[in-house]
Chain A
Amino acid sequence: MNLPRSRLQYRFLASALAAATLFALIAGVLAYAMGERRANAAAHQTIASMQAAVEKTAAIAVYAHDAPLMREIIEGVARSSLVRQVDIVDSAGKTLLQGSGSAEPLAAGESVVRQPLKSPFDANETIGALRIEIDADQLQRVARREAWLMALLMAGQAALIAAAVFLTGTRLVSRPIVRLARDLASMPPGTTQRLETPRGHAHDEIGTLVQSANDLLTANAQTLLRERELRQDIEAMEAQYRQIFDSTSAGIFVLDRQGRLINGNPTALKVIGGGVSDLRQLRGQDFLDLVFARPERARAMIEQAALRNETMSADLELRSMDGRTRWAHCLLSVQEPANTTTDAQSHAAIADGVVEGVLYDITERKQVETDVRRRAEHDALTGVLNRNGIDEAIDRCLGHGQSHDALTLLYLDLDGFKQINDRLGHHHGDEVLQQAVQRIQAELRRNSDLVGRVGGDEFVVALVHSGPTDVVASQIAANIVARLCEPFDLGSAGAARIGVSIGMASFPRHGRHRRELMHAADEAMYWVKRNGKNGYVTALVDAVPE
């Protein structure tokens, strides 16, 4: 019997021992009592048997007064260890013969058995008695011995049964279970190991337990494997998204509702430009103030996005970090708190939602757009507005006839320019035109004054804030005429001379619309041309057709 090494086996042994002890105790007590009773009964039975055996002979001996025979009987009976004293008495109670036993007086509880003796020839005549004193001490000793023997037997039986139960239980149940528990405890999660069915347990509950545990292990391993695959998938996906996030051409950023940066990708940093090498340095700062030239517009977009719950987009000018104007197309949307991301660092910040933004660098496109618009409105040769440009500029100034401010148009036509073109070539003609524009611009006083080339050698000058009665307008016209009459230095080609005819018309005197004013000025210019050129004149009021 090997010693119990586990708690289960220990408890099992303890229970078996306790039960065995209890049973042995109970059985011992019962067996003791029973044994004592049985021994007493057996002793009395023995004595009764002895009496019966010697009764006849004793009667004969008494009848014949045969002392030797009586002694023989007494000695025979007294030989029993249970008998303390044997006497034969006659019918009168006189002791005929006393046994050689102890002469001590009877102790309390010691019993005396008295067997009457009948005459062998007359059943009615009692001739004496056989008196046997039972040795109570001896009886007690015998009874005790008997009782102890029985108690020991019962206790031994109980102990043997307990041992058998323990051994059987250990072999059949606890040892396999202990081994299973140890094996199972030592297995790592997802192991490919499997429990072994203990020999002889294939078809009982332990076999079922092992089978179930193995099934669970298999299921567990499969689950773990599946989870691992899923995790790998997710990691791969995450890496892809991270890759996209990091390398996309769109700058992506996340702000809290106060406009402070939570996260952004490298492209966002590139779009913003400037001296920051890492977006993390901007974390917590007001991104909008830092990045946009007009942060209030971005803020307004965020408010709108939150209000309408949709993505707002606009081209926003970025705050210039290096003197260059930069533009970005910006998409802004607001995520309500319910759909928050799980960026652990910004839990507090995103409690009231986050702002997601996407930036595209559109500086180049914006440049192209500006250039295109510039080309559409300006004369490529001289750099001043072209016909289209001056028209729109004048319209803007006139405010569609609603303006209260005065405006005077000068319609200029170069005299003798065609001859220069023909004589010196277009190249020099262009040079003359460029120099002429420089001279015209030099005569203008205000930045708001406009110059436009409306034809090959025709120009329009718009003097804002100058009315028909304003002498400045006439002065300017006179100066322009004077300046353009001066010879143009064409370098190796020598000098060239041109003149200019100028017609003037003023708002609102000569009309409320650009077309009327232009027409009036043009009419006036032709009047000058017809009347000697190189001069200027203001259109007549009544010459203006309705």
Chain B
Amino acid sequence: MAAAIRSLSRRRGLVGALAALCLCAAALPARADVWVVVPLSSNVKAMSQKELVDLYMGRSRAFPDGTFALPFDLPRDDPGRAAFYKALTGMDLAQINSYWSRLMFSGQTLPPQPLPGEAAMADLVKRNPSAVGYLLQEPAADKGLRVVLVLKSAK
């Protein structure tokens, strides 16, 4: 029992650090912009916000030039994801989830595939010519990614 309490208190320290980190992360979208990226191998040079919405919200499955597009997403509860959708559509995650839950009911239209994190996102997009993803910080030039749109965070 005593050991359990001790273990709990040690864990609390960890939780506190995580919470602080989360707070920092949560604070991020409020002022951080979102960088939408494609691999350097992609023909897509730039995208409009509307085109991006159509891609991410299941209306379209192709880039404006007609090539197949494969959008990637962050995990469901990732703060970066919230920032992205907020910046992209002005909606919060609850609304986005509600939207998808209606479409997923029919089973025909599926949301973009989620990836474990930004590192995985950067890595996967770099290697897939059809992919499109987003990052919460500007990617370094040597990462093999092309920024096609920068979403300014909503004020």
Binding site for B on A (CB under 8 A): 57, 60-61, 63-69, 72, 120-122
Contacts and interface: CB of A to CB of B under 8 A. Distances in A.
Contacts of B89: 121
Given A64-B103, A72-B106, A121-B90, 7 more contacts: A61-B102, A61-B103, A64-B57, A64-B58, A68-B108, A69-B102, A120-B57
B108 A67 contact: yes
6 contacts: A57-B102, A60-B103, A65-B59, A65-B109, A67-B106, A69-B105
A120 B99 contact: yes
Interface string B77-113: 0000000000001110000000100110111110000
Nearest to A68: B106
Nearest to A65: B59
B50 interface: yes
Contact of A68 (B59, B91, B107): B107
A122 B90 CA distance: 10
Interface of B: 50, 53, 57-59, 89-91, 99, 102-103, 105-109
A61 B107 CA distance: 12
Contacts of A65: 59, 109
Nearest to A120: B99
Contacts of A64: 57-59, 103, 109
Contacts of A121: 53, 57, 89-91
Give the most central of A57, A60, A68: most B CB within 10 Å. A60
Contact of B59 (A57, A63, A67): A63
B83 to A, nearest CB: 17
A61 B99 CA distance: 10
B50 A60 contact: no
Nearest to A63: B59
A61 B105 CA distance: 11
A66 B57 contact: no
Contacts of A60: 99, 102-103
Nearest to A72: B106
A66 B103 contact: yes
List 6 tightest A-B contacts by C-beta distance, closest first.
A68-B106, A69-B106, A64-B58, A64-B109, A121-B89, A66-B109
B99 A66 contact: no
A82 B91 CA distance: 36
A69 B57 contact: no
A121 B58 CA distance: 12
B59 A122 contact: no
Nearest to B105: A69
A60 to B, nearest CB: 5
A63 B57 contact: yes
A254 B20 CA distance: 155
A67 B105 CA distance: 12
A65 B90 CA distance: 22
A76 to B, nearest CB: 12
A218 B53 CA distance: 108
Contacts of B58: 63-64, 66
Give the most central of A61, A64, A122: most B CB within 10 Å. A64
A61 B57 CA distance: 11
B116 to A, nearest CB: 26
B86 to A, nearest CB: 12
A509 to B, nearest CB: 191
A360 B1 CA distance: 167
A80 B123 CA distance: 52
A57 B109 CA distance: 14
A69 B99 contact: no
Contacts of B99: 60, 120
A302 B41 CA distance: 174
Contacts of B57: 63-64, 120-121
A66 B59 CA distance: 9
B54 to A, nearest CB: 9
A4 B103 CA distance: 75
A180 B17 CA distance: 105
Contacts of A69: 102-103, 105-106, 108
A69 B99 CA distance: 12
Contacts of B90: 121
B49 to A, nearest CB: 10
Contacts of B50: 122
